[in-house]
Amino acid sequence: MIQFEVETNCGNSRAGTLQTPQGKIHTPIFMPVGTLGTVKGMTPEEVAETGAEIILGNTYHLHLRPGDELVKKMGGLHKFMNWHGPILTDSGGFQVFSLAKLLKLDEEGVEIRSHLDGTKIKLTPEISIAIQQNLGSTIMMCLDECLELPATRMEVERSIALTARWAKRCKEARKKSSGDFGEQALFGIFQGGGELDLREQSLEQIVEIDFDGYAIGGLSVGESKEEMYRVAHHIAAKMPADKPRYLMGVGDPEDLLEGIEAGIDMFDCVMPTRNARNGSLFTSHGKISIKQSRFQEDPEPLDSDCACSTCQHYSRAYLRHLYKSNEILGVRLNTYHNLFFYLSLVKGARAAIKEQRFPEFKKDFLEKYHSGIDGA
């Protein structure tokens, strides 16, 4: 199935490898988000060129369209989208609680109305696993309750208990059927809001069930960065050392470095791709908005320190022109660059960990990142 090995520690940060049936993943790693079986604007070949080794697909969205049964008929998600590396599918839980209209939540699962056409949909731990087995992903995620915050302590306690019971049912569902695409790994998710003792309690409950990896859920949902970092640093060190650690939905470059410092191995976020479509681009000197008039006659590459094809071949003036003209090529070039930037960051962090210099790497990166492009 999957095999994880920590190769090097530098403080709490770790460099490792995650061997999967679809290939080896070098951690720490960032996973581009391919919600509907596509990383928006990119071919799978281009995504691989940026350094991506694993991508994320979305159970809820793919269930709605084109339908997980259709994906299964087409040979599974890997074949359907022509991505030959590992794929992680989330359970659909976050989208259920953030996008759809919640009709009912009980021990069995949730009933919702689709955000697309209002169709009534039922999602239970068993249904979530069945959908992910139809998709044939490398790593499946357990269905969890994404509690809306702020919430009372009593509400959080109820929620983490339900999440643990659902996690047990997810594992049982996988035991009963391996699907049509062989055995898939299954990660457990723990919650707990900002309450450190409840985070520990939720983690203990999920670890007791025993999964192939563990994910921190319910962060980067509106709390301050300080709060997110406090929880991540506290709980990451208590997660099993011999299993992959995944921080869901995080984040910007600073968040990635903070998570890596805490001992996290895997990250995903829509930020690099969504920001690219809005003309917000990451550079070694910070984030810039390419639509700004100061780039209208700028012949320089987006980031002179970046080796991606966008920076090697196109000027800031050209990228601004494409954005202002609503040209599709602008979205593609911007997305390629942002993903390359993120994947280069985690690759650099991995090298620094292996050379026992991660604190210096983080310090140097952030000093430069906060300096401003062209010293501005």
Would you call 268 a catalytic residue per the annotation? Answer: yes
- C-alpha distances in angstroms, 261 versus 142, 233, 257, 343, 369? 26, 8, 6, 17, 17
Would you call 293 exposed, middle or buried from its count of C-beta atoms within 10 A (0-12, 13-18, 19+)? exposed
Active-site hit among 68, 144, 255, 268: 268
Q: How far apart are CA 151 and CA 138, in angstroms?
A: 34
Q: Give the burial class of 223: count Cβ atoms within 10 A of its Cβ; 0-12 exposed, 13-18 middle, 19 or more buried.
A: middle
- The one catalytic residue among 68, 90, 252, 255: 90
Q: Tally Cβ neighbours within 10 Å of residue 298.
A: 17
Measuring CA to CA, how many Å separate 62 from each of 58, 68, 132, 202?
A: 6, 6, 10, 29
Tell me the torsion sign for CA atoms 145, 39, 86, 266.
Answer: negative
Q: DSSP characters for 103-171?
A: EEE-SS-EEEE-TTT--EEEE-HHHHHHHHHHHT-SEEE-------SS--HHHHHHHHHHHHHHHHHHH
- Residue 186, helix vs strand vs coil: strand
Counts of helices then strands in the chain (DSSP H, E): 15, 16
Tokens (6 digits) for 222: 């509106």
- The residues carrying an active-site annotation are 90, 268
